[in-house]
Amino acid sequence: MRNACTKWKDPLLEAALTENVNDELRHHLLQCADCAAELQALRARRQQMDALLPLVARAAEPSPNLGARIMAAAEAAGRGRRPNLWRVWALAGAGTAVVIAAILVFALNRQPSLTETELRQSQALAHWQAPTDVLLRFPGQGILNSTPKLGESYLTMPGVGLGQERPQGLKP
């Protein structure tokens, strides 16, 4: 049906249902092959519907064991497609083992690709300090950077060492 024929849509449906075609529509059908074919298709569809209408009107009941047949068919279809649970776990374990083995092989077979020059440059870079780091130092930094051993103190007392006596008033 062409765009120019859209005004004939409703009269075509009415003509297909009632078999009555007015003169104006008849004249259009003689000139338009698309609308004539559409009318024939609508009439064929109406005849199919008319043939099926008595079956629908009778409302025939399904067989009493229809539900059981449907359930049996669904269970049979489900059994064929569902894999065993142990196979799924075995496949997952095997896949995990392969991935771990690949990672280990890759990690253990890696060889350092740094040359001697690159190694020295990276060590120098690791010990690099900004020129302004000197300004951030303070007199007690040495004390804070070291950790005393058990029994020692952060502060050292002059004149007290191993094998020397402590001045009076100092307790160990």
Entry pTM: 0.34
Q: What is the model's pLDDT at position 80?
A: 61
Of 60-64, 90-94, 122-126, the poorest mean pLDDT is in 60-64
Question: Above 70 in pLDDT, residue 100?
Answer: yes
Give how far the C-alpha of residue 64 lies from the chain's centroid of Cα atoms, to the nearest Å: 45
With the C-alpha atoms ordered 160, 166, 169, 172, is the resulting torsion angle positive or negative?
Answer: positive
Between 161 and 121, name the one with better pLDDT: 121
Tokens 């009941």 found at: 61
DSSP 3-state assignment of 2? coil
Instruction: Give the closest residue to 35 by CA, choosing from 66, 60, 10.
Output: 10
pLDDT at 97: 92
How far is 156 from 12, CA to CA, in rounded Å? 113
Mean pLDDT of 36-62: 82
pLDDT in the model for residue 96? 92
Two tokens, residue 145? 């950077």
Mean pLDDT of the chain: 78
Query: 107 vs 41, 53, 100, 118, CA distance in Å?
Result: 73, 75, 10, 21
Indicate the pLDDT class of residue 22, thresholds 50, 70 and 90. Answer: confident
Q: Among the ranges 12-16, 96-100, 126-130, which has the highest mean pLDDT value?
A: 96-100
